[in-house]
């Protein structure tokens, strides 16, 4: 028995007990901290989830009716969702505001809802809303403008042209829209032959001198010979990407030889040898690299009105809806078509 008590009084035993206690305290402290952190994260996630989705329609109606947020605040929130591309949430807010919001803001809210429907691609709903606005307020240019866009997207060009009449009466400039819609109506008319379409497009261009890009994009695709015959050399830079894509067999060497820009462009592409350099950096690089270079031109398109950049050509800017404001920017890129052609030849 006395031996047992001696072992308890051994200093080494006390040290072991001390470290065991430290380990136990550290172990429980660690897991307690882990548990608390996990609970904090859970609480934070639950809090953030409130902002990821709108309340249900009934909850939204109650919140708007309570007036805890002003109608202006709800409109700002809806506009924020619209700008971020979350059209569904924006539409929900506008719909509830139309039911319980101020009657003074009804027309403006209705217009914002129609614009959101248009942007989201619900063209039929957008049309109904803009027609409803114009039924009570026929002199509303914003609604007329968007109704014009809706008809254009629905390919109802005759109705779109009808909308231009009241816009003209409101002293809005509709010349470009008129020419643009007439050409669209012509090109999408299946009852007119391709030959007649080409003739009418050329006739319209000679009369109006508008929509150069749209006109020659179609002409070089439908009838390259007539496109060169009616080609305006002063517009060469505007049409750079179209000219770059013209098939070698369709080139008009007489016109190319007489135009400095075209000589540089097609020397850079490797079709002719009529220029030794160019003031344009990209063309100069391709001319100096000659045909051995595995490089080509790529293009992007900038709206001169709103400065939005697109990777594809456009005739009407989808952001500001202006017509014929596309400006081409060229850059050097790898010629993947040449790689593909070489791979095909290696398999033959």
pLDDT: which is higher, 341 or 108: 108
Of the chain, the percentage scoring pLDDT greater than 90 comes to: 61
Contact 257, 228 (CB under 8 A): no
pLDDT at residue number 281: 93
Starting at the earlier edge strand, list the strands of the sheet with 326-334. 309-310, 295-303, 326-334
Contact 278, 287 (CB under 8 A): yes
Residue 24 neighbours by CB distance under 10 Å: 10
| Model pTM score | 0.77
pLDDT: which is higher, 247 or 61: 247
pLDDT at residue number 348: 47
What's the rounded Cα separation, in Å, for the pair 130 and 145? 9
What's the rounded Cα separation, in Å, for the pair 264 and 87? 47
pLDDT at residue number 10: 63
Q: Is 298 helix (H, G, I), strand (E, B) or coil?
A: strand
Query: Which two three-digit tokens encode residue 231?
Result: 């080609």
pLDDT greater than 80 at residue 5? no
Query: Which two three-digit tokens encode residue 162?
Result: 């009808």
pLDDT at residue number 76: 87
pLDDT at residue number 51: 47
Work out the average pLDDT over 89-118.
90
Contact 243, 212 (CB under 8 A): no
pLDDT at residue number 41: 59
What's the rounded Cα separation, in Å, for the pair 108 and 105? 5
pLDDT at residue number 257: 94
- Cα-based distances in Å from 124 to 13, 114, 115, 147: 86, 10, 12, 10
Tell how far CA 231 is from the center of its chain: 31
pLDDT at residue number 191: 94
pLDDT at residue number 74: 84
Q: Is 190 helix (H, G, I), strand (E, B) or coil?
A: coil
Count how many residues are written for the chain.
Answer: 348
pLDDT: which is higher, 142 or 345: 142
pLDDT at residue number 129: 96
Work out the average pLDDT over 127-133.
96
- 10-66: pLDDT as tens digits: 667 677 777 778 878 887 787 777 776 666 556 555 544 554 555 666 666 666 666
Instruction: Give the residue extent of every domain in the chain.
Output: 294-348
Mean pLDDT of the chain, nearest integer: 85
pLDDT: which is higher, 208 or 13: 208
- Cα-based distances in Å from 96 to 113, 227, 339, 346: 11, 54, 57, 65
Q: Which residues does 319 contact at the CB level (< 8 Å), separation at least 6?
A: 303, 306, 308
pLDDT at residue number 45: 59
Count the alpha carbons within 13 Å of 135 in the hemisphere toward its beta carbon. 7
């Amino acid at each position: 028995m006395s031996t047992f008590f001696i072992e308890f009084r051994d200093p080494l035993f006390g040290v072991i007990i001390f470290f065991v206690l430290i380990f136990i305290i550290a172990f429980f402290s660690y897991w307690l901290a882990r548990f608390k952190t996990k609970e904090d994260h859970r609480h934070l996630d639950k809090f953030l989830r409130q902002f990821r989705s709108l309340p249900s329609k009934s909850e939204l109606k109650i919140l708007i009716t309570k007036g805890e947020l002003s109608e202006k605040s709800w409109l700002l929130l809806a506009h924020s969702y619209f700008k971020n591309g979350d059209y569904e949430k924006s539409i929900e807010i506008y719909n509830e505001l139309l039911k319980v919001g101020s009657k003074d803001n009804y027309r403006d809210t209705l217009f914002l809802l129609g614009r959101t429907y248009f942007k989201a691609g619900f063209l039929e709903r957008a049309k109904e809303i803009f027609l409803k606005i114009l039924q009570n307020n026929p002199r509303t240019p914003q609604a007329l403008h968007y109704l014009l866009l809706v008809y254009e997207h629905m390919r109802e060009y005759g109705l779109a042209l009808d909308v231009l009449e009241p816009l003209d009466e409101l002293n809005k400039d509709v010349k470009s829209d008129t020419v643009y819609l007439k050409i669209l109506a012509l090109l999408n008319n299946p009852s007119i032959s391709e030959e007649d379409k080409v003739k009418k497009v050329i006739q319209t261009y000679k009369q109006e001198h508008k929509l150069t890009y749209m006109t020659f994009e179609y002409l070089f695709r439908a009838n390259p010979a007539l496109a060169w015959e009616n080609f305006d050399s002063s517009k060469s830079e505007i049409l750079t990407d179209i000219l770059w894509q013209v098939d070698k067999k369709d080139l008009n060497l007489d016109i190319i030889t007489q135009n400095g820009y075209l000589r540089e462009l097609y020397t850079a592409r490797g079709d002719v040898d009529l220029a030794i350099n160019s003031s344009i950096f990209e063309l100069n690089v391709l001319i100096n690299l000659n045909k051995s270079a595995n490089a080509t031109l790529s293009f992007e398109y900038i709206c001169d009105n709103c400065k939005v950049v697109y990777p594809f050509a456009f005739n009407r800017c989808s952001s500001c809806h202006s017509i014929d404001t596309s400006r081409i920017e060229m850059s050097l890129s790898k010629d993947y078509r040449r790689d593909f052609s070489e791979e095909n030849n290696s398999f033959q």
